[in-house]
Structure 1
Amino acid sequence: MEYEFIHDAITGGAKAKFSLEHQIVGPWLEIELGQNTAKLEEILTAIDQVESGKCQEKLITGHEYSLVVNQDDVHIQANALLNGEANLPEEFSEDGMNFDGQDSSSCGVEDFRTLLLSWAKFTKI
């Protein structure tokens, strides 16, 4: 997973840019995690619980995105997909436009943990 953290030149806020296949992770980090220490601890605890076998899967629903942690990977998905609102009008899909890659993404658990810790260091959580 390729990514870069930057500070927005106008607002000074932390921004995250990701490769196309993981593009949704950037907005998830900015919107759902931001600089929220409690949320970071909740997610790291969920990862630890799944890895230790205390549970099979953990779902953390945010304002715009949801996060699912299981033994194999971490999956981030726009809540609109969970609500069935992500169906595009036919005229868009006929034009060959593909928006699916922007609505969800998965990565390995250890890669995700490393990402979270890097974000925390960058944003000084």
Structure 2
Amino acid sequence: MEYEFIDDPITGQARAKFSLEHQLLGPWLETEIGHDIDKLSSVLAAVDAVSNGVEQELIVTGNEYSLTINRDDAIVNMNVMLNGEIVMPDNLTADALQFDFQDGVSCGVDDFRHLLLSWAKFTKVT
């Protein structure tokens, strides 16, 4: 999984850019974790609980994205996709255009833990 963190010169906010297959993780980090130490700690605790066998699977539901953690993977989904509420405008579907929504992305639990710790270091929420 390739990614980089940058400070947006316009907004001053931390941004996360990922390779195409993991790009949904960027907005998840920015939106659901941001600079909030409590949210970060909560997600790390969930990762540890599943990794240590205390829980089989945990779901952390955020405002825009949901995170599912199991023993092997961390999976981020857009909440709107989970609800089945994305509706394409008629003028787009009438032309039989195909859209590839990246509705979910997964990575290994160890890589995900490392990602969270790297984000914490970059945003200085440790």
Whether 1:30 aligns to 2:30 is yes
Task: Give, as a single letter, the amino acid of the residue that structure 1 aligns with 2:93.
Answer: E
Aligned to 1:40: 40
Q: 1:91 aligns with which of 90, 93, 99?
A: 93
The alpha-carbon distance between structure 1 residues 93 and 87, as it changes in their structure 2 partners (threshold 3 A), is farther
Quote the offset at 1:97 in angstroms.
2.7
1:13-51 deviations in Å (ceiling 9; x for gaps) = 100111111111000000000011011111111111111
Letter in 1 for 2:23: Q
Amino acid at match of 2:97: D
- AA at the equivalent of 1:96: Q
Once the two structures are TM-superposed, the CA of residue 91 in structure 1 deviates from its matched residue by: 1.4
Residue in structure 2 matched with residue 51 of structure 1 by the alignment: 51
Matched position secondary structure for 1:107 = strand
In the aligned structure 2, how far is the partner of 1:88 from the partner of 1:74? 28
Aligned residues: CA RMSD: 1.6
Supply the distance in 1 between the matched residues of 2:20 and 2:6 (Cα, whole angstroms): 17
Distance 1:92 1:6, change over 3 A: farther
Residue 13 of structure 1 is matched in structure 2 by 13
Distance 1:11 1:92, change over 3 A: farther
Question: Structure 2-normalised TM-score?
Answer: 0.91
